[in-house]
Amino acid sequence: MSQSARLAEADQCEKKAAECLKTSMIKLKFNPDYDGAATALERASVCYKNAGDPKKAAKVLQDAAGYYEQTRNGFHAAKARENAAILLRDAGDTTAAFTLLEQAINGYAECGSMDTAALSIDRGVKLVEKDQPEKAIMLYERGLELVQQSDRSKMAGEFLTGITKLSLRLEDYPRAIRSIRMEIEKYAEVKESLRIGQLALGAVLVQLAREDYVAALKEYAWAIQQCPDFERTDDAAACQSLIASYEAGDDSAFQNALRRGNVRSMDNDYLRLQKKLKVPTVVRSEGGLEEDDDDLR
């Protein structure tokens, strides 16, 4: 089918949608046919897309979403907005695409389609995580609110992991610690000591990045309280070595501890963090600064 033929079909679909909205006393049609109008506009969107006009295709889909809302069909309204967002994303308009995805996520959530909302959150994060990581974190946090209302632990864990990774990239260490702790609490409920071990190790590394070995020790102790089995793992041993060498001001031993296999096998964001870590000549603790012997001479 030629481009002109596709555009002609799209025009006919829009005219059909307009007819669906008309009422007539003579024809005894007292209410607009919003479903029919939305269906016609969805077909028009396909025609515009195939004719190479994604922005027009997105526009008629947004109109279709409004008509679906008139019939209280929240799922189809959200789906239309999500499809419009994908079209705008492909057209390079990420700002408008992100706004539509946010609306779609809320729509899915309102009609109870949490799995679909989660997929949309993932798409939204991918749109902005590189250039606007703060927006991506806000989207993860919105998703976390939604899944906590519906007790979806697996989804919550995925969103928390996403928040942690983006927070590490932004060097927002307090937020990273909060999300790590929340994830540890969730895994403690099901006694997943292996996962808790990796998270506790991550928390220790983050606190050492803040140059606070006392806080790192507290994270380690708190993780043991959440899951006593953690204390007997290789991750716990790695935590002990990292904290002890840092407290002693021994950077050589600290770097050796960072080279442990379980430490080196952590996710990329933690590996990038590890490259920045070294024992400072002045070690900070919760009580203030501790100077080494050379500084006291």
Fold classification of 152-280 is 1.25.40
How far apart are the C-alpha atoms of 47 and 57, rounded to whole Å? 8
Q: Which of 7-21, 136-150, 185-199, 203-217 has the lowest mean pLDDT?
A: 136-150
| pTM, two decimal places | 0.80
Given phi > 0 = left and psi -120 to 50 = alpha, else beta, which region is 92?
Answer: left
Name the residue ranges covered by the structural domains of the chain. 152-280
Mean pLDDT of the chain: 89
Residue 285: per-residue pLDDT: 56
Q: What totals of helices (H) and strands (E) does the chain contain, helices first?
A: 16, 2
- Return the pLDDT at 154: 75
- pLDDT of residue 292 exceeding 50, the answer is no
